[in-house]
Amino acid sequence: MAGSPVVGSARPRIGVLALQGDFREHIASLTALGAEVVPLRRPEELASLQGVVIPGGESSVMDKLARSFGLAEPLSQAIHEGLPTYGTCAGMIMLSSRIQDGIDGQQTLDVLDTTVRRNAFGNQNDSFEIEIPMPDLGEAPVHAVFIRAPVVEDHGPDVQVIGALPDGRPVAVQQGNVIASAFHPEVSGEDRFHRRFLQLVADA
């Protein structure tokens, strides 16, 4: 589904949280769409960014590393203040306000009014792929790759559901400047979420 770049000469500077997980795939996807993309590891790097992506990986490890690097609190504050942000899989968990089945002491950035269930579909061997209609993103369904994925069990009234499983459970949502998906568009060649994110950046 990869297409032409979506940004012009004024390339937005996007940070991809690069503490753990598949940040390289997001860097490649956003670079292909014309953005200037840099790894994000330290709080002082936030000031130069126009948007942030939080990748898939191990949410509890990412949480611990973000706190140990002193990044969690300033990142949460920046998102609350309007910094466009997109999270996939573990990124969705980190953005959510509430976790079910998290490990002891696991924290989140608390910027998305959702309750997510961690590893909702089991372990790595229970990964799967499915086509999900998402009319907001176009006529063609989204090919969604789920790898130890979470699912949204509950959400507040300001959260828009972009896509849901056949049983109705949301797996892609947006609340203002925050987009999150339980699956991995960055590994399937699906670029419409990154395009939607870059449009948020442009609008901001």
Block means of pLDDT (10 residues each) for the chain, length 204 residues? 60 96 94 97 97 95 96 98 97 97 92 93 73 96 93 97 96 98 92 97 94
Distance of alpha carbon 155 from alpha carbon 168, whole angstroms: 13
Residue labelled with tokens 């372990």 = 123
**Annotated catalytic residue: which of 25, 26, 186, 194?**
186
Distance of alpha carbon 30 from alpha carbon 74, whole angstroms: 23
C-beta of residue 144 within 8 angstroms of C-beta of residue 114: no
- In tens, the pLDDT along 148-194 reads 899 999 999 999 999 999 999 999 999 999 999 999 999 888 999 99
Residue 191 three-state SS:
coil
Q: Can 155 be counted among the known catalytic residues?
A: no
**Annotated catalytic residue: which of 26, 89, 190, 194?**
89
Q: Can 186 be counted among the known catalytic residues?
A: yes
C-beta of residue 45 within 8 angstroms of C-beta of residue 15: yes
Residue labelled with tokens 């009014």 = 113
Residue 103 token pair: 């490990």
Instruction: Domain 13-203: give its CATH architecture.
Output: 3-Layer(aba) Sandwich (3.40)
**Annotated catalytic residue: which of 155, 184, 190, 194?**
184
Q: Can 44 be counted among the known catalytic residues?
A: no
157-to-46, 91, 96, 113, 176 alpha-carbon distances in Å: 29, 21, 14, 8, 12
